[in-house]
Amino acid sequence: MNQPSSTSHTRRSLENWYFAVAVLLLIAAAFFRLWHLSTAPPGMSAAELINAQISDQIRQGDISVIYNQTEPAREGLYYAILATSTSATGRGLILWRLPSVWLSMLSLAVTATLTRRLFGMRVSLMALGLMSIAFWPVWMGRTVMHVTLMPLMTTLAIYMLLCGYQSRQDMAAGFWFTLGGIMLGLAQYAHVSAWTLLAISLLFIAYRLLVNRQEMRHRWFDISYVALLVLLLTIPLLIYMSQHPGTREPVPVAEQSQLIAEIPGRVVTLLTGLVLRGDMFPNNNLPGRPVLGPLMGMLMVIGIGVAGARRRNPAYGLVLIWLVVGLLPAALLPRSPDFEYMVVILPVIFMFPAIGLRSIYWWAREWLSESRHLAFELAVAAVIALVIGSNAAWTYRDYFMRWPELGDVRLNHKADLGLLAHYLDTSQDTSPISICSTPVDRTNDPFALSNQDLLSYFMHRHNLPIRYFDCDQSLVLARGGESQRLIFPLEHYYDHLPGPLLAWMRYAGNEHVPGIRPDVIMRIDVSKEIADVAGSFMTTAPAAWAPETGESRLAPLPVPFGHNVTFLGYTVRDLSIRPGDYVELMTYWRLDGPPPSELTMFAHMLGNPVVVLAQNDNLGVNINQLQVRDIFIQYSLIQTPVGTTPGRYPLSVGLYLPGSGTRLQVFENGQARSDRLFLEHVMIEPR
């Protein structure tokens, strides 16, 4: 409705190639959103991992419109989509990101349709071309963030309301206004910035009342109907906000005493961020990388000027209101620009350079003779292709080459574990894998994740037999110590191993894998050494039956326990210690059959056969992940009480099921003998 006059021939020509060019641009957009989807960046940020965990909660039945375990609280619509998608496809870094890819592609298609309706085909194609390859929308289309839903919700809501506003038939108008009201209401459950869509709608109504009151008089029923729909859909959100004020705001307005005075400066910073400095947060952007760059920035300024000059036209008035109001969420933040909170303007920001270039095109065309119009159009098309192509090359270099290699980006996105997950997904090596995964304390951080948890989010091969162990207290030697890979996810992570366990690493060597840091994947083969150690226990580490058996004799090693676990032997670092010191006990175990679902080891220092003076109950391996013939070594520290009387104190060990507390029986020749073994005595020396 706002295109300058053109010949019928030109219009038909545009119609013929519009869809072909649009398809090519969407293919380019798909390339930028799918290329190296699992490795650029090779992991997920803390915010993305929280989103993945919330979607897991939804799959487990924890459905809510708002999730307030985080600050600010997060709206639930995106997580429902993510949970539905991964329930159908499975989990893995690519599968977590795919919903964002499809949402982004749909957003591009709707934005192109909306822009064509507002400004015609030329503006639509250029805006689509820029959005397809620019860094900001590319990042938005690959990240596991709830903000990625907003561009689609924004364009859908505005497009549907615009269709209703422009419809001449009451039935068609009612249909589109119904869809628009539903979309406005649902958008409030997508992101905290969605309130701006309500503000844009209200300001557009006010603006049209000032410009053309007669036009709006026929829309009051539709406007009231949309408002009622939005109110009904947002009742759960309004109830939540009344009970938890300020929890959705990243920085509550009430905590910013100088807000009004700082807003003008913040708006200037936001605009310069678009064309000069970019978003400085490495989770969102390459620091210093603007959205448009100086050239596109100049065209954007021209486009804003053109829109201001034609502000009485509904299309231009709409995009001006859209831009100004959409900047407000980011302007309310003390640290800006922050691209996440500028997301509402993502579609419209690419329309203004296209409007500016089209205005220059029509102005120059008026000065040229008609015989030169075709050559001029070809020249302009070549310039646009050059602009889009150069921006595509710029984005490719920055997103796929520079950004993932930044130290902050690698750290924030758990890149080391992401690369390790990619290696495990693609490796053809069939040798056993054991990975260090130290447990995390979720008391203060309910979203804390261990290495095992992180790999389960990043990896796609969930059937890969991996043994996980806590390298602060244990070590797993698969298949009796045969050639295997011991993986310590961070560089020199195996330094966490206690001294007696670290001694086994002298037999290990670095496995050179491109992209993986040295000393992360270690190759070890200790089948001979472990057999020698187990054989030596028979003479160097005596074990005895517990007194309740009625026999005072040694138990012949190895000793089988219930649930297919066999005790191979043990070592005690110092048999003579002082009160308050630690007994350093290392026990060796082998799995001889299917493992139990859970298991814990106890290590006691006894005052007499029934009195426990000190103990350590723990097991640093996930027993249900072990395979037959796997050997696990447990390092236990037992602190003696400070006031312990000097003398000789026996040690005892055993296993129990933590769920029920039932101890595993110890067997001899197939007969149960007791539920514990006695080891050597420790001498407590006087201080």
* 482/435 same-domain check: yes
- Domain contains 38: no
Which residue stretches of the chain have pLDDT < 70? 1-14, 371, 373, 491-494
Nearest C-alpha neighbor of 76 from the set 96, 91, 54: 54
**What is the 8-class DSSP label of residue 4?**
P
Going along 31-137, which residue ranges are E strands? Answer: 66-67, 74-75
- Among candidate residues 496, 525, 554, the one where a domain is terminated: 525
* 453/596 same-domain check: no
How far apart are the C-alpha atoms of 233 and 243, rounded to whole Å? 18
Longest alpha-carbon distance in the chain? 115
Q: Let me know: does 51 contact 80? Beta carbons within 8 Å.
A: no
How far apart are the C-alpha atoms of 572 and 584, rounded to whole Å? 6
* 253/195 same-domain check: yes
Q: Which residues constitute the domain of residue 540?
A: 531-684
Instruction: Please give the pLDDT value at position 283.
Output: 80
* 234/328 same-domain check: yes
* 556/501 same-domain check: no
SS3 533: helix
Sign of the dihedral through C-alpha 346, 348, 400, 29: positive
How far apart are the C-alpha atoms of 44 and 473, rounded to whole Å? 28
Nearest C-alpha neighbor of 655 from the set 598, 614, 609, 610: 598
Nearest C-alpha neighbor of 76 from the set 228, 197, 240, 244: 240
Nearest C-alpha neighbor of 447 from the set 54, 105, 147, 34: 54
Q: What's the CATH code of the domain at 584? A: 2.60.40.770
Sign of the dihedral through C-alpha 250, 32, 393, 359: negative
SS3 639: strand
Nearest C-alpha neighbor of 303 from the set 323, 278, 273, 288: 323
How far apart are the C-alpha atoms of 641 and 581, rounded to whole Å? 8
- Domain contains 71: yes
Residues β-bridged to residue 611:
608
* 388/475 same-domain check: no
* 494/370 same-domain check: no
* 558/482 same-domain check: no
- Domain contains 22: no
SS3 480: helix
Count the domains in the chain: 3
Question: What single-letter amino acid sits at 413?
Answer: H
- Domain contains 39: no
Tokens encoding 609: 């056969």
Nearest C-alpha neighbor of 385 from the set 106, 133, 107: 133
- Among candidate residues 354, 387, 408, the one where a domain is terminated: 408
Tokens encoding 245: 């004020």
Q: Let me know: does 465 contact 414? Beta carbons within 8 Å.
A: no
Residues β-bridged to residue 509:
523
Instruction: Please give the pLDDT value at position 231.
Output: 95
Residues β-bridged to residue 649:
682
* 513/538 same-domain check: no
Q: Let me know: does 164 contact 176? Beta carbons within 8 Å.
A: yes
CA distances from 55 to 37, 52, 93, 101, 335 (A): 20, 5, 14, 17, 29
Angle at CA of residue 609, ends 607 and 615, nearest 5°: 55
SS3 252: coil
- Domain contains 15: no
* 294/317 same-domain check: yes
* 556/518 same-domain check: no
- Domain contains 2: no
- Domain contains 664: yes
Residues 6+ apart with CB under 8 A from 241: 248
- Among candidate residues 463, 494, 525, the one where a domain is terminated: 525
Question: What single-letter amino acid sits at 109?
Answer: A
* 605/516 same-domain check: no
- Domain contains 95: yes
